[in-house]
């Protein structure tokens, strides 16, 4: 009998009931994805994660009581955190940067085509960030010029082995695991192992934060 992978479990967090309904309808209609719950603000997100154990949370930014940045930070601090995709109408540099620093795996606007949102859900579960190259470059340039960012980043990366350092450089360039394996003449399994060790050593939550650190250090 063929083995069937379980669906990707998604939680939708938004204070607009119509937006939640639209996202739920869209995602539930996609193969391999199931919306397992909803919350109407960041305060309810933690309880909803406890109740439904999602793999991915679609998180609005501006909500009553607890905003999406605070809720993202709380969720990503859990022992087994879900991936978080911020989905909002507000695309200022400050909002995007705060979301990524809080541990979000990506940032999309609410007018993103449905197929792209579905792709993003699958992509973050596979461990890949979901920022467009234009947004990535804009934010990395901003992060790199912040006072003291360069020195702090260089000191942080000093704990890595030379090969782990090489992997950080490639992640900063936006390469996925397969592309890094080809560029550095490694097996895919070795790359995945290095990425895992980097995240542990640097106490980071995802690849996007590695990329931010690489740009802070002037490596990409």
Q: Is residue 184 part of a domain?
A: yes
Residues 126 and 161 placed together within one structural domain of the fold = no
**What is the per-residue pLDDT for 108?**
86
The C-alpha atoms of residue 94 and residue 100 are separated, in whole angstroms, by: 10
Residues 112 and 47 placed together within one structural domain of the fold = yes
Residues 51 and 160 placed together within one structural domain of the fold = no
Query: Domain span at residue 106?
Result: 8-130
Q: Which two tokens stand for residue 154?
A: 């260089």
Residues 165 and 192 placed together within one structural domain of the fold = yes
Q: Is residue 140 part of a domain?
A: no
Residues 157 and 118 placed together within one structural domain of the fold = no
Percentage with pLDDT > 90 across the chain? 50
Q: Is residue 135 part of a domain?
A: no
Which range among 1-10, 61-70, 192-201 shows the weakest confidence by mean pLDDT?
A: 1-10
pLDDT in tens, 135-170: 666 666 665 556 567 778 888 999 999 999 999 999
Q: Is residue 99 part of a domain?
A: yes
* Residue 72: Cβ within 10 Å count: 29
Task: Kindly report whether the global pTM for this prediction surpasses the value 0.75.
Answer: no
Q: Is residue 138 part of a domain?
A: no
pLDDT in tens, 86-134: 988 876 777 887 888 888 988 888 888 889 899 999 989 988 877 655 5
The number of distinct structural domains making up the chain is: 2
CATH classification at residue 32? 3.40.50.2300
Residues 56 and 121 placed together within one structural domain of the fold = yes
CATH classification at residue 187? 1.10.10.10
Residues 119 and 163 placed together within one structural domain of the fold = no
DSSP secondary structure of 146-160: STTHHHHHHHHHTTS
């Amino acid at each position: 009998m063929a083995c069937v992978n379980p669906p990707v479990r998604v939680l939708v967090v938004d204070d607009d009931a119509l937006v939640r309904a639209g996202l739920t309808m869209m995602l539930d209609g996609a193969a391999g994805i199931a919306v397992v719950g909803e919350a109407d603000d960041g305060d309810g997100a933690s309880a909803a994660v406890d109740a439904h154990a999602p793999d991915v949370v679609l998180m609005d930014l501006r909500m009553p009581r607890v905003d999406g940045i605070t809720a993202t930070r709380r969720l990503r601090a859990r022992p087994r955190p879900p991936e978080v995709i911020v989905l909002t109408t507000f695309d200022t540099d400050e909002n995007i940067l705060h979301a990524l620093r809080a541990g979000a795996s990506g940032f999309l606007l609410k007018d993103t085509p449905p197929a792209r949102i579905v792709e993003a859900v699958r992509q973050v579960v596979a461990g890949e960030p979901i920022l467009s190259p234009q947004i990535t470059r804009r934010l990395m340039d901003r992060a790199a010029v912040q006072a003291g960012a360069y020195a702090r980043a260089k000191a942080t990366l000093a704990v890595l082995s030379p090969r782990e350092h090489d992997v950080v450089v490639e992640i900063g360039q936006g390469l996925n695991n397969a592309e890094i394996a080809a560029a550095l003449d490694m097996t895919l399994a070795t790359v995945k192992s290095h990425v895992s060790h980097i995240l542990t050593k640097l106490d980071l939550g995802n690849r996007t934060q590695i990329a931010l650190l690489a740009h802070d250090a002037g490596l990409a």
